Amino acid sequence: MGSGILGVGLSGLRAAQAGLQTTEHNIANVNTPGFARQRIVQTASDAARTGSGFIGRGTEVVTVERVYSRFLTEQVQQSQSSASELDSYHAQISRIDNLLADPATGLAPALQNFFASVQQVAANPAQLAARQVMVANARSLSARYQSLAGQLDQIAGQVDDEIRASVAEINGYAGQVASVNQEIALAEASTGQPANDLRDTRDQLLLELNKLVRTRATSNADGTVNVFFGSGQQLVVGSQAMAIAATPSSSDPGRLSVGLSTAAGVQEMPESLIKGGSLGGLLAFRSEALDPAINELGRNAASLALVVNAQSELGQDLLGQSQISGSPSAFAPGLFTLAGPVVTASTQNPAGSPTVSATLIQPPPYSGNYRTDLQASDYRLSVDATGATLTRLADNRQWSGVNLVAVNGLLASDPQGFTLSATAPLTAGTSYLIQPVRHAARDIAVNPTLVADPRLVAAAGPLRTAAASSNTGSATISAGQAEAGYPAAVTTLPVSLVFNSGLLSNFPVGAQVSVDGATPVTIATPADTVAYTSGARITLVGSVATSPPSGFSFVISGLPNNGDTFSILLNSGATADGRNALAIAQLQTQATMGGGTDSLADAYANLVSQVGSRARNLQVASDAQQTILDQARSSREALSGVNLDEEAANLLRYQQAYQASAKAMAIGASLFDTILQLAGG
């Protein structure tokens, strides 16, 4: 910059012009997303050394800088990532909440209607119309299970679509960040000055990227940034963008997983590593809410089918058929049909690996009815050199043994409602996904045989009892209850028990008899006796080992006289007997699930409550996170945002500076003209 009045004035003119242009640039971009206001940085030019001292030579613009805080920008990006995650999660779980809790589409009304119709059959077992209504309501109930499962599966499919879309967007933004990185590096290397607008563009791209997945950026000396996600996986390195992909999981081909694309293929990433943004919200929703809801609904459907069918097996239909009478091969008491567990071998298993299968365990008796030990979870069976390990994925509970037999042995003492088998000894390095109940609600249906002929509903008890009409005492005998394994307890019928001197005799030879759940005694001869206690529950023990013992139970109460007899007979012609239907109806309130902790209705209510509670908590968390995001944006805007009032003041300031510099140059020119005139004169 030249010295003198003209040179100094020109420097001021140029600085004011730069200030005006920068201010106008700010005003023009007041509504540009991610724009950080800019300002010129001025410094005094080197002064001229004279004998009279240093005379100033004006000013110069060193650079144009962004009013920018990396801390505030990263705070906005991280807050945005958390807000997008919670918004995505809440939007999805609200759909499940609305689906399960809706009285018109939920399960509770269908369960209530079904068991109400079973009670009608118990009250009117001879009425074919009551049986038809029961079967119709059973079909409606199974259809409700199927509908809910179908809608949850539809949500799962839509989540997969959104995961694919999010992955595509992430790859798109990563590519744009890499491209802008390259532009910044070239621009700043050629000028030595910061490429402010390009840096704003990159920050906005990173913000958009964090709406999809949480990332972390580190700066390089050349002005570029590296972008990482997950546990440090590279997404952008300088001017190169890596790619991620949504691909079927190797452990479950029906499930999308997210991984890094490499030359060797897609490297799957654990879902727990992918946090933040809409993608993190989708993955968290799927694993924490959707999968448990599908499994819980399946557990409910499987438990219903298993316990109702098990109790139906203990009955007798309107044609007199039961397990011990009529034509057992024609006896079809199972009201529901249910598909078995699904076992999926990992696609990474070596060729020729054994096939593993799972079988649901028939429900054991519990408090006069039945219960299941099924859990709302998938499992993974992993095999290594030391043996096999079964992991419950819901909580990572494990059972380990040297082989599958050992694992099944552990499950016998800690039952999960299924057993495992394999076509050959397990091979080290193999893995299997076991889904005992995931598809149960989708596959439950009503036995078509009973749909075609409701007379086959096993509403009656298979046995009846009677006190002889010739008895002289006042003792009575209850109708009796068939329990698990009862056919083995009554291989010889009729049974006619005789009372004499406080003892009962004439039990079937070889029978085991338990009184009030005590240890059974074995009957060696018809003369063997059992002490009589009025009101005691007497059980002829069957083939299923339970505690207390089960089989065929009855109660004799009152004061019998010597010689009084009490008989157990086939329940032939029992069209008005609804004892077994009543036992089925009692399953509605019995704790038939979770090893005897919840009823069917309670378990479903717990599911609705848990989903609703989580949805409400997410709403609160989402609102709180939105407030945090708004505060972070406000802090950034307070520093970097364009204030039109401030920029208007800057316009006036730079205008005045421009005019003053121009006036100084005009004065300088006038003085120069005067000098020329004097020299010319």
Give the position of tokens 């057992």. 328
Q: What is the pLDDT of residues 455-468, one digit of tens each?
A: 999 999 999 999 99
Q: What is the pLDDT of residues 616-642, one digit of tens each?
A: 999 999 999 999 999 999 999 999 999
Residue by residue, DSSP assigns 198-242 as HHHHHHHHHHHHHHHS-EEEEE-TTS-EEEEETTTEEEEETTEE-
How sure is the predictor about 46, in pLDDT bands with cuts at 50, 70 and 90? confident
Whole-number pLDDT of residue 212? 96
- CA distances 345 to 253, 353, 355, Å, are 9, 9, 8
Q: What is the pLDDT of residues 79-127, one digit of tens each?
A: 999 999 999 999 999 999 999 988 888 899 999 999 999 999 999 999 9
Please give the average per-residue pLDDT across 466-484, as a whole number. 94
Helical packing angle, 291-312 and 600-640, nearest 10°: 180
What span, in angstroms and rounded, lies between the C-alpha atoms of 99 and 144?
12
Whole-number pLDDT of residue 6? 83
- CA distances 591 to 8, 335, 485, Å, are 94, 20, 21
Q: How do the domains of the chain map onto residue ranges?
A: 4-67+641-680, 73-286+601-633, 463-570
Examine the pLDDT at 665 and tell me if it is beyond 90: no
What span, in angstroms and rounded, lies between the C-alpha atoms of 198 and 133?
72
Q: 229: Cβ–Cβ under 8 A, 6 or more apart, which residues?
A: 213, 214, 215, 216, 235, 274
Q: Report whether 79 contacts 632 (CB < 8 A).
A: yes
Taken as a whole, the chain contains a residue count of: 681
How sure is the predictor about 1, in pLDDT bands with cuts at 50, 70 and 90? very low
- What ranges make up the beta strands (E) of 407-509? 418-422, 431-435, 445-446, 463-467, 476-477, 481-482, 495-500, 503-505
Q: What is the pLDDT of residues 364-398, one digit of tens each?
A: 887 667 889 999 999 999 999 999 999 999 999 99
Examine the pLDDT at 2 and tell me if it is beyond 70: no
Whole-number pLDDT of residue 326? 62
Please give the average per-residue pLDDT across 168-192, as a whole number. 95
Q: Report whether 142 contacts 336 (CB < 8 A).
A: yes
User: What amino acid occupies position 4?
Assistant: G
Lowest-confidence segment of 1-15, 140-154, 228-242, 468-482 by average pLDDT:
1-15
Lowest-confidence segment of 25-29, 375-379, 675-679 by average pLDDT:
675-679
Examine the pLDDT at 289 and tell me if it is beyond 60: yes
Q: Report whether 274 contacts 578 (CB < 8 A).
A: no
The pLDDT mean for the chain works out to 92
How sure is the predictor about 47, in pLDDT bands with cuts at 50, 70 and 90? confident
What span, in angstroms and rounded, lies between the C-alpha atoms of 218 and 28?
30
Strand partners, 4: none
Please give the average per-residue pLDDT across 40-52, as a whole number. 85
Q: What is the pLDDT of residues 338-372, one digit of tens each?
A: 999 999 999 999 998 999 999 999 988 876 678 89
